[in-house]
Chain A
Amino acid sequence: MILSRTFNRVVEQLDAVFHALSDPTRRAMVRTLASGEQTVGELAAPHPISLAAASKHVKVLERAGLVHRTVHGRRHVCRLEPRPLAAATDHLRFYERFWNDRLDALEAFVSPPPEESP
């Protein structure tokens, strides 16, 4: 198993994602957002938390790259950014990249590109 050790940046992103999703309130927010855009107020409504606390949770999700927030006047509209999790879960891609990098090196070794003539 190579992937998580080779692709450090992905691991860092994964850590942020896992941290963001380690909290049940934030997981519930992500679930809600999976069905469509919501304002911070709407996200807070089902939970016994203040708007300020909800906003903090949204910030953690934003930092993990999971949520994008757009400000329309006083309305803060959140939507889900699916890419970080798709990348984090698609382990097989990383293996493909690992081996494709090796084949690049193999190709350069066995058939070096012809020298360009001046």
Chain B
Amino acid sequence: MTVVPHTVTVRRVVSATPEALYAAWTEPDQMRRWYATVVDADVRVGGRYHIEMHEEDGVVNGFTGEYLALERPTRVSFTFTHHAQTPADRISDETVTVEFREVEPGRTEVVLTNSWTGPECGPSDYEATGQGWEELLNRLEKGV
């Protein structure tokens, strides 16, 4: 399987100012109240962090990374590596960038972009065609 770039983007307009959102993403006391259960973060460019998200189903997802950009109050960017990731996953250059754009006073669009380089994911429209199945099975045969 080849390694290709991936990007996931989610957007949300929230009733808050960019300043409030920037604080929610960069002040550990606030981050603990919504983002992650454990937050240990040296919030400055080049500073490192460790967070743990304790999910409702009991799974703990830990992440570590480094702050790449801190532009108050419009942009936060950091590297993002899962605790269980190994070289066998062939994932590299994973980053998360969060941008805050005020769309009207007190209303801000949050745009979150999670990018990485890693093994190819399948397209979502496999169910449409037998062709997709064929490709997927070929891939499975090579991968199993």
Q: Mark A residues whose CB is within 8 Å of B.
A: 1-2, 5-6, 8, 18, 21-22, 27, 30-31, 34-35, 80, 82-83, 85-86, 88-93, 95-96, 99-100, 102-103, 105-111
Contacts and interface: CB of A to CB of B under 8 A. Distances in A.
A104 to B, nearest CB: 9
A9 to B, nearest CB: 8
A85 B30 CA distance: 39
A111 B20 CA distance: 10
22 contacts: A1-B82, A1-B91, A18-B144, A21-B137, A27-B137, A27-B140, A30-B133, A31-B133, A31-B137, A34-B130, A82-B127, A85-B133, A90-B123, A91-B122, A92-B124, A96-B8, A103-B112, A107-B14, A109-B30, A109-B33, A110-B16, A111-B14
Contacts of B10: 96, 99-100, 103
Interface stretch (B40-48, B55-63, B69-77): B55-63
B130 A99 contact: no
B46 to A, nearest CB: 24
A44 B12 CA distance: 52
A102 B121 contact: no
Given A8-B57, A106-B24, A1 B34 contact: no
B8 A99 contact: yes
Query: For this complex, into which size category does the number of interface residues on chain B fall?
Result: 35 or more
B59 A111 contact: no
Contact of B110 (A82, A88, A103, A108): A103
Interface of B: 6, 8, 10, 12, 14-16, 20-21, 24, 30, 33-35, 55, 57, 59, 61, 82, 84-85, 89, 91, 94, 110, 112, 114, 116, 118, 121-127, 130, 133-134, 136-137, 140-141, 144
Contact of A86 (B6, B20, B59, B124): B124
Does more than half of chain B's interface fall in helix, strand or loop, or is it mixed?
mixed
B121 A91 contact: yes
Does more than half of chain A's interface fall in helix, strand or loop, or is it mixed?
helix
Given A82-B126, A107-B14, A110-B20, A5 B59 contact: yes
